[in-house]
Amino acid sequence: MALIRLDKCLADRTPHSRSDVKRLLREGAVLVDGVPVRDGSLRIDPDVQTVTCRGTALRSDAHVYFIVNKPLGYVCATEDRQHPVVTALIPEAQRVRGLFPAGRLDADSTGMVLLTEDGDLAHRLLAPKRHVPKYYLLRLARPYEPDYARRAAAGLTLSDGTVCRPAELSPIEAEDRYALICLHEGRYHQVRRMMAAMGNHVEMLHRVGIGGLLLPVSIKAGGFLELFHKDVENLLNPEPFSSVYERIVNNFPSYLINEGQ
Ligand code: URA
């Protein structure tokens, strides 16, 4: 890796602003390979050298990725005057600058949101041409009708005339009001509007997967997980709907713990 300025490295890989970084350097709070360094213009290789700031080692990878289990009421934004934001679910010490939610989930939906400062990955995940699948568990107000899957697969027409891309939809066995849906695009309130187009109403919507990565049931509402690079690659390598369905059904009751949160 090319050598980069110590002050830039600190500003990129810690929550501190550039002026905080200057102060921390002046105070001798920054060590490179155990030695205090006060000169921010020093060029270092963060992959080879160990940099600590107030005793905490800087991450060595260039990008960070978290998944959070968004609770009800949180918005997918970095700042909001009225609602709590998803980035606040990451503890301050790990909240690197530039962290943003890659994609949206409504305030009244819950579940998996990816947070990163890697604009390239976010772009690849969200690019309409890629159609990276997103999986949602939903609870309906009225029982699931047998023709829903066929209608969703044919491409539903929403009330404003928008024609949706074909989507996979399947009821959760032995449950007449729960289903799993897989979308290959991300329109405003899409799942809710698709179910409304079929005369039903979504009471609960929980995103359980993005691409080839499912939200682990161990992450409860408001919890988060930092991803390894291997997991990040999985995001862009989806599995067939049938195998995702099987994994979700096997864990189904655990996902319901999030309901109402
Ligand atoms: N579809 C919706 O209706 N809401 C979401 O948050 C995501 C997909």
Q: What is the pLDDT of residues 83-106, one digit of tens each?
A: 999 999 999 888 888 899 999 999
Mutate to test the pocket of ligand 1, among 74, 83, 106 (most ligand atoms within 8 A of CB): 106
> Does residue 234 sit in helix, strand or coil?
helix
- Other beta carbons within 10 Å of 133: 20
In this model, does residue 57 exceed pLDDT 60? Answer: yes
Smallest Cα–Cα separation from 239: which of 206, 207, 209? 209
**CATH class of the structural domain 65-257:** alpha beta
Residue 61 has a pLDDT of: 62
Stretch(es) of the chain classified as CATH 3.10.290.10: 4-57
Architecture of domain 4-57: Roll (3.10)
Share of the chain above pLDDT 90, in %: 67
Report the distance separating Cα 215 and Cα 191, nearest Å.
19
Helix (H) or strand (E) holding 98: none
Token duo for residue 89: 């679910």
Residues with CB under 6 A from ligand 1: 105-106, 109, 189-192, 205
Residues of the chain with CATH 3.30.2350.10: 65-257
Q: pLDDT tens-digit profile of 231-256?
A: 788 888 899 999 999 999 988 888 77
Q: 55: exposed, middle or buried (C-beta count within 10 Å: 0-12, 13-18, 19+)? A: exposed
Residue 33: pLDDT band (50, 70, 90) is: very high
Non-local (6+) Cβ contacts of 5 within 8 A are: 40, 41, 42, 43, 44
pLDDT of amino acid 64: 87
What pTM was computed for the model?
0.80
| Gap between the Cα atoms of 164 and 106, Å rounded | 18
Q: Which two tokens stand for residue 4?
A: 């980069």
pLDDT tens digit sequence for 141-186: 999 999 999 999 999 999 999 999 999 999 997 788 999 999 999 9
- Relative to the CA of 183, which ligand 1 atom is closest? 8
Instruction: Tell me if residue 106 is catalytic.
Output: yes
The rounded mean pLDDT for the chain is 90
Q: How far is CA 161 from the centre of its chain?
A: 30
H or E element, residue 28:
none
How many residues are listed for the chain in this entry?
261
